[in-house]
Amino acid sequence: GIPEPAVMVTAEDVTAGKPDPAGYRLAARRLGLKPANCLIFEDATVGIQAAEAAGAPLMIITTTHQHPLETAHATIASYRDIALSVDSDGQLRLQPQ
């Protein structure tokens, strides 16, 4: 019942998986953006490494971890902890819930 996203990158679209940044770079390109203008949500070390290598900002989701994940990036326990809105310029805005 979930609609397919307008832009999607799958394993078949890249030759190397995480921690290689190719998937994130391709997604940004398909969106018409630079990786630095994308926000990546990650919960795994290899995904964090891939996003960092792509040059994208990160939000780390900690709910899936049984142990603390040490990171210099912003963290949230769950997607329920943030509210999303779109401003008058069409920019996505995140705010704590």
Residue ranges per domain, the chain? 11-96
* Residue appearing with tokens 């326990």: 77
* Cβ(35)–Cβ(28) below 8 Å: yes
The whole-number pLDDT of residue 28 equals: 97
Domain at 11-96, CATH homologous superfamily: HAD superfamily/HAD-like (3.40.50.1000)
Residue range 46-57: average pLDDT?
Answer: 95
Q: Which residues on adjacent β-strands are paired with residue 96?
A: 82
State the Cα–Cα distance between residues 35 and 68, nearest whole angstrom: 27
Span 31-35, mean pLDDT? 96
Q: Taking the mean position of all CA atoms in its chain, how far away is CA 92?
A: 13
Where does the pLDDT of residue 33 fall: very low under 50, low under 70, confident under 90, or very high at 90 and above? very high
Q: Does 64 score more than 80 pLDDT?
A: no
